[in-house]
A and B are shown apart, each in its own frame.
Chain A
Amino acid sequence: MNMLERFFRVVGRNTINRVWRLGFAARFFIALLAHSGETFRRPRLLLRELFASGVLSLIIILVSGLFVGLVLGLQGYDTLQRYGSSEALGILVALSLVRELGPVVAGLLFASRAGSSITAEVGLMKATEQLTAMDMMAVNPLARIIAPRFWGGVLSMPMLAALFTAAGIFGGWLIGVVFIGVDEGAFWAQMQANVNFVDDVCNGIIKSIVFGVAVSLIAVFEGFDAVPTAEGVSRAITRTVVTSALAILALDFVLTSFMFRGL
C-alpha cells in the first residue's frame, strides 16, 4: 500500500512540475514578447546577437550544407542511374534540401552551436547574479538581455537555413555536374520545372522561422530558468540541445503533415 501511494505521489509531483514549467515557459514567452520593443529601438543590442548567433554559425552551416549536398549527389546519382534517370538528380537534391534537410539540419546545428551558447551565457549571468543586479538597477533583464538574444536567433535562423540549402545544392551540382558529368542543362531545368516557389521554397522558409522561434525560446528559457550553480548551468545547456532537437523533429513532422499532403 505504502509503495503504491509513493508511486502515485511521484507521478503526481512530476505531472504538476511539468505543467508548472510549461505554464512558466508560456508566461515567460508572453513577457518576452511584451518587452521586445527595446530590442528594435536599440538596434545595437540586436546587432551584437545577430553576430553571435548568425555570423559565428556561418562556417559550420556552410561546410555542413556543402557536405550534405555532396553526399546527396553521390547517393542520389547511384540510385537514379539504375533507373536511367540520372538527370533527375537536380530535383532530388533540391527538393530534399529545400523541403526537409535545409530547415531541419540547419535547425539542429543552430541549436547546438548558437542555442547552447545563449543558454550558457544567460545561465552564467544568472549564476553570478548579474540578472538580479540589473533588476536592482531598474534595468529589466528581459528587455536588455533576453529579448535581443531571442530575436537575434529568430532572425538568423531563416537566413542560415537558406544558406545551408544553397550550399547543399552547390554541393550536389559539384558532384553531379562537375565530377560525374550529368548534363548541366537538364540538372537545372528539371530542378526549376519541379521545385515550386510557393509550395516548396516558401514552406521551407516558414519551417525555418518556426524552428528559429522554438530553438531561441528554448535556449533563453533554459538559461533564465537554470539552477544558479555550475552544475545547474551545464544541465541547462544539455537540456537546451536535447529539447531543441526533439522540438525541431516533432514540429517538422507536424508542419510537414500540414504542408505536403501529396496532392
Chain B
Amino acid sequence: MNRKVMDLWVGIFVVIGFAAVLFLALKVSNFSASSFATTYEITAKFDNIGGLKVRGPVKSAGVVVGRVSEIRFNPQTYEANVVLKIDSQYQFPMDTFASILTSGLLGEQYIGLDAGGDETMIPAGGAIAKTQSAIVLEKLISQFLFNKASEGKKDAGAQ
C-alpha cells in the first residue's frame, strides 16, 4: 500500500472516529446541556416520593432547571430528604412550593417548583419548606370509590 494513501485513510478513519464520539456526546446525550453548568444544592423533605429517581428532572413552568442528585430516608422524622441540584442561573424565592408530579399517565416522575412571591431567595444549601408528596394512584382510586359508595347510601336514604 502506498504510504501517502495509507496516511490519508488513517487520517480519515481517526477524524470520523472522533466525529462519531462527538455526535454521541452532543446530539445523542445531554453532554452540552448539563455536564458543565454550575449548580447549587437545595433540599426538600417529602412524606412520600412515590417513584422519584436520582437524576430525575426538576422543572419549573415545565422547563428543566435542575436534577435530583440524592434521595435519603431520614430515620428520625420518617421523611424522605431529596437533594436537588439547581442550575446557578435560576434563583427561587423562599416560599417556593415543591411537588412531585408525573409527566403523562405512565411517564417518569419529576419535581415541579412553583415560585412564590417572597423577596428573599433560597440560598445554596437551603431548604424548601412547602412540599407536596407524590400522588399515589391506588390511594386516589380508593378515595374516589369510598366517596362514590357513601354518595350512593345518601341517595338511597333520601328516597
Contact = CB atoms under 8 A, between A and B. Distances in A.
Contacts of A133: none
A163 B20 contact: yes
A11 interface: no
Contact of A191 (B14, B17, B28, B57): B28
A197 B31 contact: yes
Interface in B1-58: 1, 6-7, 9-10, 12-14, 16-18, 20-21, 23-25, 27-31, 33, 35, 53-55, 57
B20 A165 contact: yes
Contact of B20 (A166, A188, A191): A166
A114 to B, nearest CB: 13
Main secondary structure of the interface of B (DSSP, over half): helix
Nearest to A161: B20
A169 B28 contact: yes
Interface residues of A, number: 34
B29 A163 contact: no
A169 B20 CA distance: 11
A196 B29 contact: yes
B30 A165 contact: no
A160 interface: yes
Given A47-B6, A195-B30, A201-B29, A58 B24 contact: no
B13 A166 contact: no
Contacts of B64: 193
Nearest to A152: B10
A154 interface: no
Interface stretch (A25-33, A48-56, A69-77, A232-240): A48-56
Given A47-B6, A195-B28, A159 B35 contact: no
A200 interface: yes
A4 interface: no
A263 interface: yes
A201 B25 contact: yes
A205 interface: yes
A-B residue pairs, 8 tightest by C-beta: A159-B17, A197-B31, A162-B20, A166-B20, A197-B29, A195-B29, A55-B9, A163-B20
6 contacts: A54-B17, A98-B24, A158-B17, A160-B17, A192-B33, A193-B30
Interface of B: 1, 6-7, 9-10, 12-14, 16-18, 20-21, 23-25, 27-31, 33, 35, 53-55, 57, 64, 106
